[in-house]
Amino acid sequence: MQKATSLLLLGSLFGALIYSVSASYNRKQTYDNQVVIRCSSISRVQYQTISTQPGVDIWAIKKDQIDVRVSRENMMWLRQLGVHCTMLHDSVEQLVQKFEQKLTVKQEWFEEYHKYDDIIKWYEELADQYSNIVTYYPTIGKSYEGRDMPAVHITGSTAPNTFKMYFQCQIHAREWISGAVCGYIVNYLLENYGNNEDVTKLLDSLEFIFIPFVNPDGYAYTWSNDRLWRKNRRPGTPCDGVDLNRNYDDHWSENGSSNNPCSETYHGTGPESEPETQNTANYFKNQNAIIGAIDWHSYGQLILRPYGWTSEDSPDEPRLKAIGDEMRDLIIDVHDEYYTSQKGIGLYPTTGTASDWFYSDNANLNNGDYRAAGITIELRDNGQSGFLLPPDQIIPNGEEIIPAVMYYANNLLENPLKMV
């Protein structure tokens, strides 16, 4: 009888926990009459027209192919534009509902997604637990709505001029896997320092900097209102939000961004007009000798190197290509997931992006003689779930990324890029 009562209480507690999670995720936006289509043989002119059109939400880009969320009415507009598309998901609302059903409490941290406040507490607790190698900065500045943007520094080195690796996460609100994988990398480094020779050696020679939230307001909004929100939360007329990954001071407002506030790629009123962009740019420039920088995104399984704004090769194109190709090969060795390594412009033009800015002269003026090898990584998947990647994908996605991160960091540590 006592055992049965205990099981009943345990079941009630588990049920309450599941209810708590579902109650904390309480979106108000619905997606009735919206679909995701895959359009192929897209010209750059067509892409520019589509990407800046209000009511059209580009989900992923691959060479000559894009995934687009539209209303059924807008599908007719695409046909009139001469674009050939096939159905990828015939109901966005059902896709979101399917994702919501998997938001239940699990025993392990990386078996579920977490809200902003809970993630902040998790990083604070890690910093206390691993205080010998972690320095936690509660904020590098406030977001538009006043949320903190913390920074996490990890190193075993005491040398004053230690090289640095800079990773920023969750710049696009709906890309939950980006923040989760950043946390996975942090946890891997901390758990393995002193226990794994390769990790220990790397952290004794290099400092990792993580910015867990570039877009904390947008991320919070995806939990409370609109799961598929992308931009920050600056109020606007007639539409809210700026695409922070079009707001950096690197070829700002050129092709691949929009001056329409209702576009998902709206670049804002000026370069670094947004507090979130200002905070990250200033923090980056105040760090000495950053040799590598990754802006983490989803989805599409891509490793993108400079440039996104021009087809011209960067000064370090051969080296960056070799690094990206090796990262791709290391990823596929883990779970047979294929990532494409290419220049950003190989997709379509993008301007004002974080990774191009990381590599730019502007970002590296105070970086000694070194240039940060800025790249963008688009994580899982290839469109089966898109931005609604189930939580059971967090761990395998993190596992396959770790060897690529270790290689990227070691390669640049041994031979950092120099300013030319």
Q: Is the pLDDT of residue 10 over 70?
A: no
Active site (catalytic) residues: 378
Q: Is the pLDDT of residue 50 over 90?
A: no
pLDDT at 54: 82
Is the pLDDT at 1 greater than 50? The verdict is no
> What integer is the mean pLDDT of 180-186?
98
Per-residue pLDDT reduced to its tens digit, 73-83: 888 888 888 88
Residue pair 201/156 in contact (Cβ under 8 Å)? The answer is no
Sequence-distant (≥ 6) Cβ neighbours of residue 363 within 8 angstroms: 250, 281, 284, 285, 357, 372, 374
Residue 129 CA to residue 412 CA, distance in Å, equals: 29
* Burial group, residue 334, by CB count within 10 angstroms (0-12, 13-18, 19+): middle
Q: In whole numbers, what is the pLDDT of the chain averaged over residues?
A: 92
> Is the torsion defined by CA of 113, 114, 119, 123 positive or negative?
negative
Which tens digits make up the pLDDT trace of 349-392?
999 999 999 999 999 999 999 999 999 999 999 999 999 999 99
Structure tokens at 178: 């980006």
pTM of the model: 0.93
What is the band of 130 on the pLDDT scale with cuts at 50, 70, 90? very high
Q: Which domains does the chain have, with CATH numbers?
A: 34-99 (3.30.70.340), 109-414 (3.40.630.10)
Nearest to 320 by CA among 368, 358, 349: 358
Using the predicted structure, report yes or no on whether residue 5 has a pLDDT greater than 80.
no
* Percentage with pLDDT > 70 across the chain: 94
One-letter amino acid for residue 163 of the chain = F
Task: Give the pLDDT of residue 21.
Answer: 52
